[in-house]
Amino acid sequence: MQHQINTPAWPRIGTVGLSGLLVTFGAALSEPANRAALAFRAAVERQDWPEVSETSTSLVSTFLSVDLAITSAAEMKERLTDLLGTQNWFDAPLPDGRTLWHVPTVYGTDLAPQLEEAAKVAGLDPDEAIRQLSSARVRVLTIGFAPGQPYMGELGKTWDIPRQTGLTPRVPGGALIVAIRQLIIFTAASPTGWRHIGQTAFETFRPAACQPFALSPGDELTFPSVSRDDLLHIQRQDTSGNGGAQAEQIT
């Protein structure tokens, strides 16, 4: 995606209905475009513009929630253009205050029955697949589909495997699933076209907690391999929702 960077086409500013503005940093997911979206969101937050009621990011864009019935889109675009011009966002440092999580994960077994199948599609033997997945460090690229549910990446090109043609009728909450160089931890039981390769006890959404969401876009994760018995033990012992995960601040 390097060819898109520093061309006049990106970033682009557009409106989203009467609900806000979207600053898009690329036509497809890339590390620099995702980095730009995260860094630019933090910059918009720092401006503390009264017209902006909240901000979010998708894979490659920063969204500003603005009431365009009472706010001039042209005026907001001008401000955003000025802010965009202050630096190259594609190689900007990621925002401060991010967390690195190490989430204990069972690969394969009856708890995650598609590890071998996914390894085969990726052209790896299962041990090598587990070695790669349990040592990868991925970033929360965006959160969506369900509350708190992270889309994480990018894995190496080996893991650019397609979705299944059919749907798995149900994977449980905490399932670690893979496709197109990305991982997801499922918030709640759901059908999916991605392959279920690991199982965690990590709860991404805790409605009753004072911090309902465990993850924010830009956080990073690893998924160290543990035994089936270890995970069952964690499930019994750790009632925090962390599923035995350790957190450290990224500095």
Partner 1 sequence: MSAEMIILAAGPALSVQDFGRTGYLAQGMTRGGAADTLALREGAALLGQGHGQAALEMIGAGGTFEATQDIVIALTGGAMTASIDGAPVVWNASHILPAGAKLKIGGATSGNYSYLHLGGGIDTPVLMGARAAHLNAGLGQPIKTGDRLPILPGNAQTAGRVFAPDNRFDGGVIRIVPSMQTTCFSQATRARFTATTFRRDPRANRMGVRMDQPEDGFFADDVLSIVSEVIVPGDIQITGDGAPFVLMCECQTTGGYPRIGTVIPCDLPRVAQAPAGAEISFEFVTPEDAAKIELRARAEVASLSSRITALVRDPHDIRDLLGYQLVGGAISARADPYEAD
Is there a cis peptide before residue 154, judged by omega within 30 degrees of 0? yes
Tokens linked to 36: 């730009």
Task: Tell which one of 57, 105, 190, 199 touches partner 1 (CB under 8 A).
Answer: 57
Instruction: Pick the binder of partner 1 from 32, 40, 61, 242 (CB under 8 A).
Output: 61
Size of the site for partner 1 (CB under 8 A): 47
Pull the structure tokens for residue 101.
């999580």
What would the x/- binding string for partner 1 be over residues 132 to 151, using CB under 8 A?
----------xxxxxxxx--
Cβ(28)–Cβ(1) under 8 Å? yes
23 contributes a contact to partner 1 by CB under 8 A: no
- CB-side exposure of 204: number of CA atoms within 13 Å? 28
Q: Measuring CA to CA, how many Å separate 230 from each of 189, 236, 244? A: 22, 10, 10
d(CA 106, CA 227): 6
Work out whether 50 is an interface residue with partner 1 (CB under 8 A).
Answer: no
Query: Exactly one of 10, 63, 101, 202 binds partner 1 (CB under 8 A); which one?
Result: 63
Under the binding rule (CB under 8 A), the answer on residue 188 touching partner 1 is yes
Nearer to partner 1, 70 or 93 (CB): 70
Measured in degrees and rounded to the nearest 5, phi and psi for residue 197 equal -105, -20
**Residue from 216, 222, 225, 235 binding partner 1 (CB under 8 A):** 216
CA nearest neighbour of 195 among 206, 181, 205: 181
- Distinct helix (H) and strand (E) counts, the chain: 5, 15
Q: How far is the CB of 101 from partner 1 (least distance, A)?
A: 15
**Which range binds partner 1 by CB under 8 A, 76-84, 91-99, 200-208, 221-229?**
200-208
Residues between 82 and 141 that touch partner 1 (CB under 8 A): none
Residue numbers at the binding site for partner 1 (CB under 8 A): 14-20, 22, 24, 26-29, 41, 53-61, 63, 65, 68-70, 73, 142-149, 187-188, 205, 207-208, 212-213, 215-217
